[in-house]
Structure 1
Amino acid sequence: MSEALLVKEAGAAPVVAPASGARLFWRRLRAQRAASAAALVVLLLVLVALAAPLLAALAGQDPNTYHPDLVDSAAGGVPIGPFGGISADHWLGVEPQTGRDLFARIVYGARVSLGVALVATVLQITLGLIIGLAAALGSRWVDQLLSRITDINVALPIMVIALALLAIVPDTFPRPVLIALVIGGINWAGTSKIVRAQALTLKSLDFVSAARLSGRGKWSIARRELLPSLAAPVITYAALAFPSNIIVEAALSFLGVGIKPPTPSWGQMLTEADTWYQAAPTYLLLPAGLLFVTVLALTVLGEGVRTALDPRAASRLRVGTKQIKEDAA
């Protein structure tokens, strides 16, 4: 008791408990101003996508109603009015030829573009995680077989395979679901390679050897010992793969094998806008600008997540990052 009083009287600094892993991650992520701003942009885009029906209802429009009276048929279907027909009823103007409300199609297109990329990312991460763990924990011939399959997948021309698969599937199959399955089912090789390499390294560590000596099975070891250690690289890869999948979906739609009308998608809107960039530039600039902002925000956020999970890489993002003192470093 007397020692405690002496410490208190001497003004010794109290012992602060180290921050938990989750708290330390959020602290590092918040310290990066660029990543925080990108996270706000991504959150806003997600809210717009989720609230698309409500936002369209507030505007009094829907994405598929034609307004032929709002386009000049004598001029080839150019929207009547300045800036693509912007008015109190049509906040971002109307679509050339059809007169469909552009604001409603933009917000509904966000649901498709973000939803397809999200499902594709989850699928490719799941497949890559399972195949990578199976290769690392399986026998030598299983490892060789799965590694060769992964190498073949990496060497395949992804866009060509996707074009072929999307061209032969009947149009009755839901197109957004099909595109997500194709992208996720093809792009899993990168995740698999990362997981296999990390799992092989972790297998040689003492805590995994102790779990093996205790009689636990391979998949029990994978679930309890390997997966927590693999969380950081897998989450980092997923954060960086998500914007890439948005680009792939937009590219497929731009090539004419992606989302089919009347379902709105930013990439599909770009496909139709390539002939209107002079007569109705807003029809091209709006989806292109939103794609640019979305991919940029997700890329910056993914880089911030990578840095927050790997403190050794903090020096790579000095711009927009303030130094913080981490008690649990």
Structure 2
Amino acid sequence: MSEALAAVGTAGTDSSVPAVSGARQFWRRLRAQRAALGAAAVVALLVLVALAAPLLTALEGQDPTTYHPALVDSARGGVPIGSFGGIGADHWLGVEPQTGRDMFARLVYGARVSLGVALAATMIQVAIGVAAGVAAALGNRWVDQLLSRATDVIVSMPLMIMALALLAIVPSSFPRPVLVTLVIGLIGWGTIAKIVRAQTLSLKGLDYVSAARLSGWGTWRVARRELLPGLAAPVITYAALLVPTNISVEAALSFLGVGVKPPTPSWGQMLTAADVWYQAAPQYLLLPAGALFVTVLALTVLGDGVRTALDPRAASRLRVGTGRKDAAAQKGAAQDTAAQDSAAQESAATGKEASA
């Protein structure tokens, strides 16, 4: 039960019990989805690979920036020497065309950049979006109008065009991964602000929020203690779906040449020159493209699983539907029984008349 209801006279209820019960129900629903569990395992493996990139490259004995000109054929324009792009004991996934840099090292270090930029940008979007949405819903008419119009402007901005413009005018000395994170985060918060505003307006009319106001709580205390817990489900759901979108945006910006710059490895930056080498060294295209595809697919499936697990209406629809089916079955059985009794009574009456 809400803390506000406890404050106005319904004390004695442990407020931690619903949270624990809700968490258990969430994990139970999530465990029931095998696709979401598989996607979560893939995401966890990718995060582990990104965090352990220095250890993995040390085991291989390579790094992502060292050139190996002896491993490429300069007479053929820099094509890797050997089969499958130079795959061997020293280079597990071969080497990069022209430069001879190790592909495995660049791939695992690129996971750090791609995942790090996407997660950091998502956190910025969620922080700004939640703050703007709650402030617009709880503020007066002028505050709501001002924040709503600002949100409309942000939503109407084409993300890729604005990012291209901003990244083009910023000095190259500024760290590119940080810059890409800030650009994506500061331009892409409009949709989540609209979602939070609409959800907050619906929560304002509930009894426990009214009880919190009647108990003398201030606006921001009500928002922090009563509204934010109710906003957790839609915010987490949308954030889970934002991460793969941000990975795709970072890859597209790097592919267009305005994102992460060499020698910093990034999956999108690796794809920048891959179209030139897809025939001579197809692994140079397939490896980063495959990593992007698997990551985005796993995060999308996981986000959809989280949405389903956090949606309380999914279980209620199941219960209501089952109850209606049971009631219909019981009603049909009762009607059949009544019809059989009526037929038996008519048959008995007919037999009596015939015997008379």
The structure that has the greater radius of gyration is: 2
1:148 partnered with 2:132: no
Which structure 2 segments of 5+ residues have no match?
1-16, 318-356
1:109 partnered with 2:110: yes
Aligned mates of 1:315, 1:66 — CA distance in 2: 60
Normalising to structure 1: TM-score of the pair? 0.89
Partner of 1:9: none
Q: Which amino acid aligns with 2:174?
A: F
Q: RMSD value over aligned CA atoms?
A: 1.5
Aligned mates of 2:173, 2:315 — CA distance in 1: 48
Partner of 1:54: 55
Aligned mates of 2:159, 2:213 — CA distance in 1: 39
Cα distance, 1:173 vs structure 2? 1.0
Partner of 2:173: 172
Q: Which amino acid aligns with 1:157?
A: P
Q: Which amino acid aligns with 1:255?
A: L
Cα distance, 1:171 vs structure 2? 1.1
Q: Deviations over 1:71-93 (max 9, x none)?
A: 00010000001111101100000
The worse-fitting range, judged by mean Cα deviation, of 303-312 and 51-60 is 303-312
Q: Which amino acid aligns with 1:275?
A: V
Residue correspondence of structure 1 range 12-31 to structure 2 within 5 A:
20-31=21-32
Q: Which amino acid aligns with 2:29?
A: R
The higher relative CO (CA closer than 8 Å, separation ≥ 6) is in: 1
Cα distance, 1:313 vs structure 2? 4.1
Cα distance, 1:172 vs structure 2? 1.1
Cα distance, 1:311 vs structure 2? 3.9
1:79/1:280 contact within 8 Å kept: yes
Residue correspondence of structure 1 range 81-92 to structure 2 within 5 A:
81-92=82-93
Matched pairs, number: 300
Q: Deviations over 1:185-244 (max 9, x none)?
A: 000001100100000011111111111122211111100000000000000000000000
Residue correspondence of structure 1 range 279-318 to structure 2 within 5 A:
279-313=280-314
Partner of 1:72: 73
1:79/1:99 contact within 8 Å kept: yes
1:191 partnered with 2:192: yes
Which structure 1 segments of 5+ residues have no match?
1-16, 317-329
SS of corresponding position for 1:183: helix
Normalising to structure 2: TM-score of the pair? 0.82
Q: Which amino acid aligns with 1:184?
A: G
Residue correspondence of structure 1 range 230-309 to structure 2 within 5 A:
230-309=231-310
Partner of 1:136: 137
Q: Which amino acid aligns with 2:261?
A: K
Aligned mates of 1:298, 1:181 — CA distance in 2: 21
Cα distance, 1:314 vs structure 2? 6.9
- Seq. identity, %: 79
Greater share of helix: 2
Partner of 2:124: 123
1:158 partnered with 2:197: no
1:84/1:93 contact within 8 Å kept: yes
Aligned mates of 2:232, 2:79 — CA distance in 1: 51
Aligned mates of 2:66, 2:260 — CA distance in 1: 18
Partner of 1:211: 212
Q: Which amino acid aligns with 2:92?
A: W
1:71/1:99 contact within 8 Å kept: yes
1:162/1:183 contact within 8 Å kept: yes
